[in-house]
Structure 1
């Protein structure tokens, strides 16, 4: 069975990468709940977080602060939510561990169900802004 996120890691599928290291990749959600909604994904395939070892889980979540800070800086978000679902009943759509970072804005509220479909050009422009902030925040 093919995995969309494994295809992204392998470069076989389009994505708008905002961060990458040897073990993780972060990219903009193609169907964002809000502007800047991103996913942080371990490169090694695991369906659920309980399939990972403790150090893998810890290393995944260690990426969240600097990526979230860059997203908030680039988007001028007021806050952010983090979500991580495991299994179909928990609404995990792609069976590969991933953490959602969802910027929140005082003027738009915090709905979980609204989704937009930005163009690839819009996503790439935003990805460039966030990548620049990732670099700035890591120095």
Structure 2
């Protein structure tokens, strides 16, 4: 398997690193949605977040506030989105778990994907089904 992010982690591929410790790395997104768009990821390869333990997920997301504060201060952004995609159908381009931090700017606006309209019955039924099928990592 040839993973772009694993190659960055192993220094086989260049990237703009903004944070690194023994278990995580944060880099600038090469194709940013907005100025300052960055990615935070574990150094251990996992394709999807459901492949990780709850502890690993917690450690990954615990990195986000510190990195987001740095991005906000450096860019002067007015806010930010956090995104995490799993699987090609969810627009995960690189199959290595990563969290997007996307700065947002009042002067630019925030285009978001179209939302689905549903009803209370559908929401309640789906919520019950999800609760029934939840498992810890």
Same fold (TM over 0.5): yes
User: For residues 46-61 of structure 1, what are the structure 2 equivalents within 5 Å?
Assistant: 46-61=46-61
Segments ≥4 residues shifted beyond 4 Å: none
Aligned residues, how many? 113
| Partner SS, residue 50 of structure 1 | helix
CA distance in 1, matches of 2:26, 2:110: 22
Contact 1:33 1:112 in 2 (8 A): no
CA distance in 2, matches of 1:112, 1:103: 13
| Partner SS, residue 58 of structure 1 | helix
CA distance in 2, matches of 1:111, 1:12: 35
CA distance in 2, matches of 1:60, 1:27: 14
Larger radius of gyration: 2
CA distance in 2, matches of 1:17, 1:68: 14
Q: What's the CA shift for 1:110?
A: 1.4
2:28 aligned with 1:28 = yes
In structure 1, the partner of 2:108 is 108
In structure 2, the partner of 1:133 is none
| Partner SS, residue 100 of structure 1 | strand
Q: What's the CA shift for 1:111?
A: 2.7
In structure 2, the partner of 1:80 is 80
Q: What's the CA shift for 1:109?
A: 1.1
CA distance in 2, matches of 1:112, 1:86: 18
In structure 1, the partner of 2:95 is 95
Q: What's the CA shift for 1:112?
A: 5.5
What is the RMSD of the two structures over their aligned residues, measured on CA atoms? 1.1
Higher relative contact order (CA 8 A, sep 6+): 1
| Partner SS, residue 102 of structure 1 | strand
In structure 2, the partner of 1:65 is 65
